[in-house]
Amino acid sequence: MSDSDPKPPSRFRRALEAVGRAAMLPVRGAAYAVRVGQAHQHFFLPVLNGALGDQLAARFDPRAIRMSFRRGGQDVAVADLHLIEPRQKTVVYIHGLMGDELIWQTGFQDPAGSRRYGPRLAEETHSRALYLRFNSGLHLSENGRELNRLLTELVNTWPDAIGELVLVGHSMGGLIIRSAGHYGSELRVKSEELRVDATESVESRENQLLTPNSQLSTHNAPWLAHLRSIFLIGTPNDGSWLEQNSHFTARLLERINLFPTRFLSKALNQRSNGIKDLRYSILVDEDWQNAHANDLTPPRTPVPPLPGVQYHILMGSWLRATRPSALREYFGDGLVGHGSARGHATFGDEAAMPAGASVRTAVFNQQHHGGLLTHPEVFQYLKQWA
């Protein structure tokens, strides 16, 4: 070592520096916690609604979220969307359980200047992005009926602005899209039956004008005529193994029938209706209203694909390829198993698919449930097919 080389710091100085760094750790940790809290404070209401939203809505609590389009962190009425571009492809994004519209736009830990699927897809494909927020603690069918109503209002209010309609749902959001399609197509079927019945006689037509069903027509779900594609990202089409286990645990604790187990079972059963519906993805009112809804194998009304719509099932594979295939299938992206995401009960039989409907499936390896919202390959898939 030459005389010009700097001398290494003494042991005493190194010890002082180590003590100083250790002393600053709580301060730095607290500062980081504050930044994280500030960045995620918008999640407070969505998380509260996901856990207890049905109870909040039942007592008309102002914290209960009402389904609405969102801009700049605010609810926006359909009439105030000001959709100017004519016949523009419109992509509507629907978040999942305890989420909000910002999951499609930005994230606290995203690289500076980066954007998520919504704004990127709108810019790169010259499409229109619309974002929804909803109370994820309500029954899936309640949100499905409201989504059908809101999309109907959108198309009726801006008929010249809506071109091709694309719906993108993450997790629970995909189930609500399917429920909305069920209620929209149900109205359309009823309206067609009305037109057939109305040809029987002049007297029957006059009588129908006095019934509530006489107001149903093909215009009751006009958004279905614009719908071309549905993207189901990490959607438990056949139910969530996590909620199935929660339900089984609550029933088991209740049957043991001791004070501690009854208490735990009652506490576990306080989870919201939206979460409970995830057990077998209950998409229609009649199923959760059924007296056997809490059975281990409850009734489940089939909700088939919509005719003329291309479905895209995008799912993650969380475990490494070296793990047994049975484990990878069961755990899927960590929250949704592969079998449920594929939706064998709904999409498994190609011969039973309605006219013009089709299904494409894509698996993204080493991706967990939340990672599907930021994966570059998922975005490229959306860009190619949306």
Average pLDDT over residues 214-233: 79
Rounded-to-integer distance, Cα 230 and Cα 282, Å = 19
Mean pLDDT taken over the chain: 85
Give the percent of the chain with pLDDT over 90.
Answer: 63
CATH topology of domain 42-242+283-289+291-385: Rossmann fold (3.40.50)
Please give the model's pTM, rounded to 2 decimal places.
0.82
Q: Quick one: pLDDT at residue 68?
A: 98
pLDDT at 159 over 60: yes
Q: Label residue 181 by pLDDT band (50, 70, 90).
A: very high
pLDDT at 346 over 50: yes
pLDDT in tens, 188-215: 555 444 444 444 443 443 333 333 333 3
Average pLDDT over residues 285-307: 92
Contacts (Cβ under 8 Å, ≥6 apart) of 279: 239, 240, 243, 244, 246, 247, 298
**Token digits for 66?**
């009402």
In this structure, are residues 174 and 233 in contact, taking their beta carbons and an 8 Å threshold?
Answer: yes
Burial class (CB in 10 A: 0-12, 13-18, 19+), 82: exposed
In this structure, are residues 230 and 167 in contact, taking their beta carbons and an 8 Å threshold?
Answer: yes
Burial class (CB in 10 A: 0-12, 13-18, 19+), 267: exposed
